[in-house]
Amino acid sequence: MATDRTRREQLLTFLLLPAIVIAVLVLSGVMFRSSFQLEKLREQSVVEATLSLANERADRLDKRIIEQDNAVRSVLDLTQRTEFGSKWLETAALQTPTVRAVFLVDLGTPARNVVALASRAPELETERFRRLLVHRLLPELKLDKPPIDELRHLHKVEREKAYLLSHWEQELNDRHFLVVVWHDVPRIVHDVFPALYSDMQQSRVNIVDADGKIVFGPPLTRGGLTLGRQFETTLYKWTLNVTMNSAAELAAAVARRRLLEMVLVGLSSVVVIAGLFVILIAAERERRLSNLKSEFVANVSHELKTPLALVRMFGELLQTGRADTPEKQSQYLSIIVNESDRLNALIENVLDFAKVERGQAAYEFSPGRLAEPVGRAVEACRVRAERDGVALELSLEEVPELLLDERAVEIAVINLVDNALKYAPEGKRVGVSVRPVSGGAEVSVVDQGPGIAPEDRKRIFERFVRGKSASGKQVRGSGIGLSLVKHIAEAHGGSIRVEDAQPHGSIFTLRLTRRPS
């Protein structure tokens, strides 16, 4: 039942991971698309604002010129030929500053001569324009198109000089006349354009002719959003260009923000996916640890059960009088004592490991000689070594005084020797040696067993992990002894390592480096 539940949990995990990854990728895609859509909306809003501004500025000039045309139209009296335009001249400088002259053309005659005029320009200049009007400009005008009294404009370039004419037709006493208003284009450029376009702070403006030559204003900076709009009714051969001053900066800021958002989204996706993998790895490690704990409980139970069974069995034999000779009684009592010691060592190991796991392990350091706890540990294991037919040898060299928790060091050496005795074949030897090294001392335990598989060498010091012999056969044990040795070594500022012995076997080296101050 537990196996089925575990399989279901694993299946759910492996199905959930791709689903979450896909969801993160979809969310990232949506956010990227939203970012691009916001960029397009921003560009569209800038375009609309710039276009609106260009339209408003172009219409402003058309309106200014048409207002002057209407002012002229309102004061002209075609019946007074001799005083034609006199009322206009009285207020021309104030109301129509760009109008230089007004002409009255008789369209009822084939010659289409100018029959009356009023001018603010010099006489010679006025006469030149009259000839130009009659011979070159009149054919360009759209005449006899209804409604005949509609105000129209002609924007013409003659001999590299721009002309602007406003004109309308009028019937009087069954005669057909044309009124032509001559606007001073240079004055429009030098006076009207600055008045209309020099107050623009959020944008820059220039006006170019049909060939792209700048008529008014500075060159516009490239890279920003520039929109052009031709004047609709008056100077329609010229184009008004508008660039938003903040468009380039705004575009750069939006581009930087979009890049930052993309980076953040990408990093968030990576973090989420990496977090999922970390969670899965942690869950897998927790599952393996849980399995190791279950094996640990089973192993410890077995380790406790075996000596208890032997103590009970040989105790019953003594109780029932089956040991009928003093030699057997002594043998049975020796077995009971040995198994009791084994049981006591196992319980001590479990209790010490439990303290380490809870973070309650406390060591009492004091200056001491390493030979003393090592010697006691070897003597504690000697009876078992003799029983197993293994020679246990101890070699001691003079080592400097160290800060030791002698009980902890004794437990560590007992675990190492016990581990060596498990794998040492009968008739072989286990050697324990103490020697000085730079900064401290080392305790080496050498066995002549089958050795440790390379894949187990890095993991045997982890809690609950039990290695296998080179023959593949797993030996009894709790899986906490070497983990406890590692903790004791690190508490003494040292380390524990394992190497291959020659010709076969293993060498466990416990290094201690804490020196008294």
Distance CA 421, CA 446 (A): 10
Q: How far is CA 372 from the centre of its chain?
A: 59
**Is the model's pLDDT at 187 over the cut of 90?**
yes
Give the H or E element holding residue 350: helix 326-357
Q: Which of 459, 448, 444 is nearest to 494 (CA)?
A: 444
Strands (E), 99-231: 99-106, 114-119, 152-158, 161-172, 175-183, 203-208, 214-216, 226-230
Give the H or E element holding residue 445: strand 440-447
Amino acid 470: pLDDT: 41
Distance CA 431, CA 447 (A): 7
Distance CA 322, CA 312 (A): 14
Amino acid 476: pLDDT: 54
The mean pLDDT value for 422-431 works out to: 79
Identify whether the C-beta of residue 465 lies closer than 8 Å to the C-beta of residue 479.
yes
DSSP-derived 3-state class of residue 444: strand
The pLDDT tens digits for 123-171 are 999 999 999 999 999 988 888 788 888 999 999 998 889 999 999 999 8
Distance CA 512, CA 493 (A): 6
- Give the residues across from 206 on adjacent strands: 241
**Is the model's pLDDT at 344 over the cut of 80?**
no
Amino acid 154: pLDDT: 94
Identify whether the C-beta of residue 397 lies closer than 8 Å to the C-beta of residue 459.
no
Give the H or E element holding residue 383: helix 371-388
The full 3-state SS of 275-315, as one line of letters, equals HHHHHHHHHHHHHHHHHHHHHHHHHHHHHHHHHHHHHHHHH
DSSP-derived 3-state class of residue 219: coil
Q: Which of 413, 425, 346 is nearest to 380 (CA)?
A: 413
**Is the model's pLDDT at 9 over the cut of 70?**
no
Distance CA 505, CA 429 (A): 11
**Is the model's pLDDT at 475 over the cut of 60?**
no
**Is the model's pLDDT at 72 over the cut of 90?**
yes
pLDDT higher at 246 or 411:
411
The pLDDT tens digits for 299-312 are 566 556 667 777 88
**Is the model's pLDDT at 223 over the cut of 80?**
no
